[in-house]
Amino acid sequence: MSKNMASWDRIVRIVLALVFVGLIVTGTVSGWLAIVLGILAAVFVVTSLIGFCPLYAPFHLSTRKES
C-alpha cells in the first residue's frame, strides 16, 4: 500500500472533517445527515493520517507527485 495522497489533499480532507464535525456539534445538521457526515469525517481523518485513499487505487489515481 503506497501513499497516493499529496499534502494539499490531506489538508483539504482534515479541514472538511473539521467542518463536518463543527456542523454536527453546533446542531446545524442532525439525524441521518449527521451520521453520514460523521462517518465521512472519520474516513477523511483516517485516510489523511495514513496518506492512502482506497478509492483512488482501483482507478490508479494519485494526487502525490512522484519524484
* pTM of the full structure: 0.89
Question: Is residue 48 within 8 Å of residue 13, measured between CB atoms?
Answer: yes
For residue 42, give the nearest of 12, 22, 17, 5 by alpha carbon.
Answer: 17
Cα(66)–Cα(27) distance, rounded to whole angstroms?
A: 42
Has residue 67 got a pLDDT over 80? Answer: no
pLDDT in tens, 5-43: 999 999 999 999 999 999 999 999 999 999 999 999 999
* pLDDT in the model for residue 1: 79
Instruction: Output the pLDDT for position 66.
Output: 74
